[in-house]
Amino acid sequence: MIRRRLAELATDVAALRVLFYRIGWMIEQGLPVTAESPLAKVMADETGQKLMALGMEMLGAYGPLRQGSRWARLGGQLQHLYQASLGHTIAGGASEILRTTIATRGLALPSDKAR
């Protein structure tokens, strides 16, 4: 199960790498990146959260232990990274807002003006 989940994360990281290269190429060509940038941010944040959650799951009861605990694995860094990854969906624009940008600008879907 762990191998399969790591393989899934590896494919997510590879897809993100291609997306970031595409965005770099588009910028170099002077093309607009109105939907690609928010898409990359949402995907990167969610991939990071999945990776940290898997790490916490793999460490089991040792996962939540903080730096300084004599039982903490990996120096307690994983629990810090896990907690920090949760805030990434808010920092730089909430994921819900970015999804709306992707829908309206990237997919040309109508905006929800009823709200």
For domain 2-106, give its CATH number from 3.40.50.720, 1.10.10.60, 1.20.140.10, 3.90.1200.10.
Answer: 1.20.140.10
Closest CA to 34 of 109, 115, 107: 107
Give the pLDDT of residue 101. Answer: 81
Q: How far apart are CA 35 and CA 97, in angstroms?
A: 12
Give the pLDDT of residue 5. Answer: 94
Mean pLDDT by 10 residues, the chain (115 residues): 94 96 96 90 91 88 77 77 80 77 83 64
pTM for the whole structure: 0.75
Give the pLDDT of residue 47. Answer: 94
Which residues neighbour 36 within 8 Å (Cβ) at sequence distance 6 or greater? 19, 22, 23, 26, 106
Which residues neighbour 34 within 8 Å (Cβ) at sequence distance 6 or greater? 101, 105, 106
DSSP code of residue 51: H
Tell me the domain boundaries of the chain: 2-106
